[in-house]
Amino acid sequence: MNEFIVYIVAIILTVKIAPIMDFQHIETKRLLLRPVTTADVHDFFELDSNPKVHVFLEKKPVKSIEESAQMVADILQQYKTNGLGRLAIINKKTNEFIGWAGLKYEKILRKEFNYYDLGYRLKEQFWGKGYATEAAIASLDYGFKDLKLKEIGAAADVDHLASNAILKKIGMPVSGTFTYKNELCNWYNLKNPYL
């Protein structure tokens, strides 16, 4: 356990964390979306070590807590570098960590361009309850109304029926397909309706 704590501290010191994003927590009827913290590492591990969660994510669940610590460190770095990043989804009634959702500035997924990406990932026990949809709607609203982003993109493996259904349900139109690591993905893009 001491090695784990030293590892986390080493990652944090490497990241040189700046103050967390300048925004209030995002609240919905049932959820609180808040910045990810190092205290979330074990929840990230529980989420991403489940093979079912990674069926459409290269089938590569994490194998160690250190991998989850690095994921958290990467999000903290995104906050510093880009002023935004994925947010922890918390059940307001139970205070449970459900997963993550939100926006990030994506530089890898689409080789042709960078964009603001909407994403979500939930622990299996919270699937099918509408949480991803609720968090995605709140994230879109935040991106368009508060950040005044011109457009937001999203991607989903064409075979990931649930994720594609969520993106369509929140009003993101499919605007094509692309291939990422030999997997065909639907590309969604929505322009800011408030500009």
Mean pLDDT of 111-123: 95
| pLDDT tens track for 129-169 | 999 999 999 999 999 999 999 999 999 999 999 999 999 99
Cβ-based burial of 154 (10 A; exposed 0-12, middle 13-18, buried ≥19): buried
Inform me whether the pLDDT recorded for 30 exceeds 90.
yes
With a pLDDT cut of 90, the percent of the chain lying above it is: 82
1 pLDDT tier (thresholds 50, 70, 90): very low
Any idea where the domains of the chain sit in the sequence? 2-154
CA neighbor of 141 nearest in space, from 186, 96, 105, 171: 171
**Is residue 7 pLDDT above 50, yes or no?**
no
Which residues are CB-contacts of 89 (< 8 A; sequence separation ≥ 6)?
A: 31, 32, 33, 97, 98, 99, 100, 101, 120, 122, 131, 135
pLDDT of residue 22: 56
Tell me, what's the pLDDT at 23? Answer: 57
Band (59; pLDDT cuts 50, 70, 90): confident
Query: In 3-state terms, what secondary structure has residue 181?
Result: coil
- Banded pLDDT at 76 (limits 50, 70, 90): very high
CA distance 140 to 146: 10
Number of H helices, E strands in the chain: 5, 8
In CATH, the architecture of 2-154 is 3-Layer(aba) Sandwich (3.40)
Residue 48 CB-half CA count within 13 A: 22
